[in-house]
Amino acid sequence: MSTSLKPFNTFGIQANASRIVIAQTVQQLNEAWNEAVSLQKPVLILGEGSNILFLDDFIGTVIVNRIGGIEVTEKDDAWHLHIGAGENWHHLVEYTLQQNMPGLENLALIPGCVGSSPIQNIGAYGVELKKVCAYVECIDMRSGETHRLDNKECQFGYRDSIFKHDYQNDYAITAVGLRIPKLWQPVLTYGDLTRFDPATVTPQEVFDAVCHMRMTKLPDPRVNGNAGSFFKNPVITAEQAAGLLSEFTDMPHYPQADGSIKLAAGWLIDRCELKGYQIGGAAVHRQQALVLINTANATSQDIVKLAHYIRQRVGEKFNVWLEPEVRFMGVKGEVSAVETIA
């Protein structure tokens, strides 16, 4: 059996694992984990590898989570969905539209599995997972016990959750519960969506527009390996934002509930004239500066060097220091992405 991780990461980076296991049930996942632990080997649980950069060969077992299934319960005010962690996210969005359960259309074409969605608290075009997430089920691999964390317990933040912190190690997400309200309210605050009339727009029109925006601006990972948005949109103080806006009057900026200001990382990179900039086989995408692509057999070090260069250029010009959204994986497990590119 091949131990190459290239088919299991959308960056298309060549790296190997000591062992790869495809788990289609919770039992298979738990057994593979216990076997690796008994051999004192590191374990990594992977979805579709759409938000990961392998820096080196992984010296342990990689378990590919393919737990499937979609269960729907209809209530008076909402649909309640229980989805296996290994289901493809975009296929879920399509399924809900086909079943006349709108509400996920702004999150169309986000790559990855359903089980990965709460880790990052995925979001796009004004909607985040936390808006519809009712609970996340995970298994404590040490005891085999299943835990169900409700929305509040997940501690969702911007591209953040408890699954990046207290529940990062020794836990595996097995299912996600969504609550989709029957009273559909379109979110039309970003991009081409602002052109629609909220009184007449349909869920399908929003879905089609989101797909069009993503397909025209973002590269297909089957053609040019990538992990989607490489950097988080930085959040800065209102005072710092005011200083930048006095100099860069056209700078996109989004006030947050706590008074801070979110900036568009892609705009900052673009203003440094870095679209198309290349190091080795890694390059900044020409249509969307927030995406780094594997143009031709890029190594992980090509991507790290390119990310470092971008971070330095943006930091020197704006005094804003970008942080990767992509998770960096070393020989034994996750390492600090910020420290790696600093």
pLDDT in tens, 167-198: 988 899 999 999 999 999 999 998 899 999 99
In a 3-state reduction of DSSP, which class is residue 173?
Answer: strand
Question: Mean pLDDT over residues 47-68, rounded?
Answer: 95
AA letter at 75: K
| Res. 130: pLDDT tops 60 | yes
Q: What angle do CA 195, 105, 326 make, to 5 degrees?
A: 105
Res 209: pLDDT: 97
Residue in 60, 52, 117, 120 with CA at minimum distance from that of residue 91 = 117
Examine the pLDDT at 208 and tell me if it is beyond 70: yes
Amino acid identity of residue 128, one-letter, is E
In this structure, what DSSP letter does residue 4 have?
B
- Per-residue pLDDT for 219 more than 90? no
Asked whether the predicted pLDDT for residue 279 surpasses 70, the reply is yes
pLDDT at residue number 60: 94
φ, ψ dihedrals at 219, nearest 5° = -75, 150
Residue 329 pairs in a beta bridge with: 54, 334
Chain-centroid distance of CA 95 in Å reads 20
Given a cut of 90, whether residue 289 has pLDDT beyond it is: yes
Beta carbons of 15 and 60 less than 8 angstroms apart: no
Chain-centre distance of CA 271, in angstroms? 24
| Mean pLDDT, residues 252-278 taken together | 96
Q: Give the per-residue pLDDT at 190.
A: 87
Q: What average pLDDT does range 6-33 have in this prediction?
A: 95
Whether pLDDT at 269 is above 80: yes
- Label residue 260 exposed, middle or buried (CB < 10 Å: 0-12, 13-18, 19+): middle
Which residue matches tokens 């990382």? Answer: 265
**Model pTM above 0.85:** yes
In this prediction, residues 102-127 reach a mean pLDDT of: 95
Name which residue leads in pLDDT, 158 or 154: 154
Report how far residue 29's alpha carbon sits from residue 36's, in angstroms, rounded to the nearest whole number.
11
Per DSSP, 232 falls in state: P
Is the pLDDT at 2 greater than 70? The verdict is no
Over pLDDT 90: what percentage of the chain? Answer: 92
What pLDDT is attached to residue 109? 93
The pLDDT of 65-88, averaged and rounded, is 97
> Is residue 1 very low, low, confident or very high in pLDDT (cuts 50, 70, 90)?
low
Mean predicted confidence (pLDDT) in 74-93 = 97
What residues act catalytically? 159, 229, 325
Q: Is the pLDDT of residue 285 over 60?
A: yes
**What's the mean pLDDT when you consider all of the chain?**
95
295 has pLDDT over 60: yes
Q: What is the pLDDT of residue 72?
A: 98
- In this prediction, residue 42 carries a pLDDT of 94
158 pLDDT more than 90: no
- pLDDT > 70: percent of the chain: 99
Mean pLDDT of 139-147: 93
